Structures are given as structure tokens and as C-alpha cells.
């Protein structure tokens, strides 16, 4: 681990004390990384440099996701690197990917201000891209560089985004073994799994009727949660999974916890995810 002051390794054993509790007095930037991740190696020195410039007003916690898989799962890490800012005991914001130093400083300045005598850098303008444009661009890049399998994974995710599950599955199946367990691949796999679960499932009125008759019909509640999730009512779907976790944690080999983690990986509402992740954690720990 780095010898830089204010940088430390975070594990399941010390996370509550060194990150959550410590953030009540000093904000903590949490870097989820892995040794095999090229962008992580680019971002790591930048984070250490920026944190060092805060002269003790900010700490950096490094989480090796290969060694701390459960911790990464609880945070729903989808890709590496992922950086989360914890302040006052709460996860308040984050970003994915290896940002340049200026954008890292701008991100921090929004929440904790800039280091003394330093002005925040101007963020680079974001260029919006439609799903169709993304797919077209990725197809060209795949054709030009067929050996870059990560582009095929990005293409599979883009195809799933527009609802072309069959094409997404085809791209997913063609990925090499080293990408099969990538966070993006897991997200896509969870999306496809949710779609398959409902293939022959009862409709929503039938599931609600079953629960009205027997509130402990966990199978019906589980399917209702998936239906609500895929119908766009994510909070209601997560509530159903939490109900099972609270009343029958061991049901179906801990299916409720697995559903929640899978749901976190496919949702994009970070505020909603943070709220329900904390509710899940309060039931588990």
C-alpha cells in the first residue's frame, strides 16, 4: 500500500470504524480498485496526489475488490475503478472511470470545497450521445479493433438498454472468460435474468391476490418485486425484497439478498440505491 499520508487500505473489518465513523469528522474518498485493472492504475496516483493536497482534510480509503468481494457487493460496484465520497456517515456522491486530475478536483470541490488557496478546475463539457449513436459507434470500434473484447461488452450493454435482449445475450455469450465476471457483464447478466424470471410468471393482479390470501407466499412476493422493478416502480419492488429479507432471510437460499444486490446492479438512481442499500445493511448487520 502507498506510503502517502492519509491513504489506507479499507477492509470489511475496519470499514465501519475507519470509513463510516471517521467520515463524521473527516470526509473519506473510497477507491474501489483491482490489480488487473489498467484504468485503476492510472487513477490511483491522481487520487493520492489530490487527497494529499487537502493536507489532512480528506482521507483516501483503498478497497481491493478481489480481496474484499463482499464489501464491493454491498456497494454494488459495477465497474472499476469506482470512487465514492463518504461524508457525515453517508455516501453522498461518486464516479466511475479514470477521470483526469482536474475533474477529480472539480468533483471534490462541489462537496467539500477546494484545498486552501486552490480554485476548482473547470469540468470538461459532457457530450450527450443517444443509445442508437452509442451502438453505431461501438459497432464501428468493434469492427476496427476486434481484439478489444471490452468494446463487445459495452456493445452488449448498449443493446440491452434499447431492449434488444437477444442481441445482448449473443454478445454476452461471445465474451472471453476474463470478462465473464466483469462488473458490467454481471449487470447485463442480472438484467437478462430478471427478464427470464418473468417469462412464464403470473401477472401482477394474480400475484397480489396470492399475497392477499397468504402474506407468507414468498414466491409470489419475490415475483411481484421483480415485476415492479422491471415495470419502472423500483422502490416498490425493492420494498418487496426487503420484506422477504426481514421476515424470512433464509428463504430460497437467501434469495432476497441476492435479488437486492442484483437490483442495485441494474438501477441507475444512485440516491435510491443508497437508501435501500442502507436499509438492507441495517437488516443484515
Q: Cell 491513504, residue?
A: 7
- 183 catalytic residue (yes or no): no
Counts of helices then strands in the chain (DSSP H, E): 13, 5
Q: Active site residue: 10, 29, 37, 244, which one?
A: 37
Rounding to the nearest 10 degrees, give the CA dihedral for residues 193, 262, 151, 47: 180
- DSSP 3-state assignment of 104? helix
User: How far is 233 from 191, CA to CA, in rounded Å?
Assistant: 15
Q: Cell 461518486, residue?
A: 94
The sign of the dihedral angle between the CA atoms of 144, 150, 154, 157 is positive
- 229 catalytic residue (yes or no): no
Contact indicator for 224, 217 with CB cutoff of 8 Å: no
Q: Active site residue: 19, 29, 40, 273, which one?
A: 40
- DSSP 3-state assignment of 271? helix
- Please list the active-site residues: 37, 40
Amino acid at each position: 500500500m502507498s506510503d502517502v499520508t492519509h491513504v489506507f487500505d479499507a477492509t470489511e473489518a475496519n470499514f465501519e470504524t475507519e470509513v463510516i465513523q471517521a467520515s463524521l469528522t473527516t470526509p473519506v474518498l473510497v477507491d474501489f480498485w483491482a490489480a488487473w485493472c489498467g484504468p485503476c492504475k492510472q487513477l490511483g496516483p491522481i487520487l493520492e496526489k489530490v487527497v494529499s493536497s487537502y493536507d489532512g482534510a480528506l482521507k483516501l480509503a483503498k478497497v481491493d475488490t478481489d480481496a474484499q468481494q463482499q464489501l464491493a457487493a454491498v456497494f454494488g460496484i459495477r465497474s472499476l475503478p469506482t470512487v465514492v465520497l463518504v461524508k457525515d456517515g453517508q455516501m453522498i456522491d461518486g464516479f466511475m472511470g479514470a477521470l483526469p486530475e482536474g475533474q477529480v478536483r472539480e468533483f471534490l470541490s462541489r462537496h467539500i470545497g477546494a484545498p486552501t488557496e486552490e480554485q476548482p478546475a473547470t469540468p470538461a463539457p459532457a457530450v450527450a450521445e443517444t443509445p442508437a449513436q452509442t451502438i453505431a459507434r461501438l459497432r464501428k470500434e468493434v469492427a476496427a479493433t476486434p481484439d478489444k473484447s471490452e468494446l463487445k461488452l459495452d456493445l452488449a450493454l448498449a443493446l440491452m438498454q434499447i431492449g434488444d435482449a437477444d442481441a445482448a445475450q449473443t454478445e454476452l455469450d461471445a465474451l472471453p472468460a476474463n470478462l465473464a465476471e466483469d462488473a458490467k457483464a454481471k449487470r447485463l447478466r442480472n438484467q437478462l435474468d430478471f427478464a427470464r424470471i418473468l417469462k412464464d410468471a403470473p401477472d401482477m393482479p394474480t400475484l397480489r391476490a396470492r399475497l392477499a390470501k397468504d402474506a407468507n407466499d414468498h414466491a409470489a412476493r419475490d415475483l411481484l418485486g421483480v415485476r415492479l422493478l422491471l415495470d419502472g416502480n423500483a422502490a416498490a419492488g425493492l420494498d418487496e425484497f426487503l420484506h422477504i429479507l426481514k421476515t424470512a432471510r433464509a428463504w430460497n437460499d437467501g434469495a432476497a439478498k441476492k435479488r437486492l444486490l442484483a437490483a442495485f446492479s441494474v438501477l441507475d438512481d444512485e440516491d435510491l440505491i443508497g437508501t435501500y442499500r442502507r436499509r438492507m445493511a441495517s437488516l443484515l448487520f
